Amino acid sequence: MPSSATTATASADTYSPLNLVLITGMSGAGKSVALRALEDTGYFCVDNLPPELIVQLLQTLQMQQQQRRRHVAIAVDGRSAASLPLLPQILRGLEGAAIDVKLLYLDASDESLVRRFSETRRRHPLSALSADASSGDRHQALAEAISQERELLAELKSLGSSIDTSLLRPSQLQSWVKTVVETPKSNLTLVFESFAFKRGIPVDADYVFDVRILPNPYYVAELRPLNGKDQAIQQWLEQSDAVNQMLAQLTHFLQEWLPAFINDHRSYLTVAIGCTGGQHRSVYFVEKLAQHFGKDHPTIIRHREIDA
């Protein structure tokens, strides 16, 4: 069986194109949830596939020409630590093949990962700690393993779309994964995400903007139950010169620097807008920025605090 991406490229035109979603990221960040979400939508899913076998699997699926397997999702993580450095080269090798590749990187804060591993009592794939180690040593080894994996995956994070799962419910993650997969492929996809500062800054953000200094609809009793997508909130905020000025300045800033990200061959740019509760001002700004830039770029909207 051929084992190079070059061979896959040579025969690509003979078979039906494949849609490949490659899921990677931190262990414990939700890759199994993401795979289940894609499996529910008809993807042929493979978990923990060593990177050196990816091309062989894709060649086999191309040769079968089964329509139900034209959509493929593969999860690769720290369990394949020795061969993870091969992934960027493999992805570059697939660029000329009849394969539409999307890389999805799942991330989470160190605190969230430590809590998840502690709650499930699973061992981190990079942890060589013995089963009879003390509780204190176990915690230290887990923190070291997370740090080692984060360094190992650093290059991959910049190659695709990143999702911070630290505060997401499984249903939210499933919805966000499907949104990424359904977004048309482009030189640059913009992700606008609203969040509450009191719950932490998203670790997947490229830019973070703080709109807490602006007038807050929360203190208007009839507006408090609403959110920034509601017309009443938008009309109230647009009465403020400060709101209009900041929105114009953020729009200009992003417009000015988007060409640089495109020239740097970035596939995704995540802009996070935060306010106190993540309900009103940040949601409004995300909606307005997405509306403006969505005319020229594929755009993804995420509202961390209000998405179902």
Tell me what pLDDT residue 252 has: 98
* Averaged pLDDT of the chain: 88
C-alpha to C-alpha distance for 111 and 96, rounded to whole angstroms: 40
Q: Tell me, what's the pLDDT at 8?
A: 44
Dihedral of alpha carbons 272, 306, 73, 203, sign: positive
Stretch among 2-11, 81-90, 195-204 having the lowest mean pLDDT = 2-11
Binding-site residues for GTP sit at 77-80
- pLDDT in the model for residue 265: 84
Mean pLDDT, to the nearest integer, of 188-200?
Answer: 96
Query: Which of 12-26, 90-104, 286-300 reaches the highest mean pLDDT?
Result: 286-300
pLDDT at residue number 66: 53
Q: Average pLDDT in the 22-42 region?
A: 94
Q: Which of 175, 201, 9 is nearest to 97 (CA)?
A: 9
String of DSSP letters for 16-82: --EEEEEEEE-TTSSHHHHHHHHHHTT-EEEES--GGGHHHHHHHHHHHT-GGGSEEEEE--GGGGG
Query: What's the gap between Cα 273 and its chain centre?
Result: 16
Look at residue 213 and tell me whether its pLDDT is greater than 60: yes
CA distance 113 to 179: 24
Binding residues: 25-32, 77-80
Q: Which residues are annotated as a binding site for ATP?
A: 25-32
Average pLDDT over residues 87-115: 88
Of 288 and 266, which is predicted with more confidence?
288
Q: What mean pLDDT comes out for the span 99-111?
A: 93
Which domains does the chain show, CATH number per domain? Answer: 18-182 (3.40.50.300), 189-303 (no CATH)
Cα–Cα distance between 145 and 79 in angstroms, integer? 12
| Of residues 17 and 83, more confidently modeled | 83
Question: Per-residue confidence at 137, pLDDT binned at 50, 70, 90?
Answer: low
* CA–CA separation, 157 and 164 (whole Å): 11
Q: What confidence tier does 13 reach under pLDDT thresholds 50, 70, 90?
A: very low
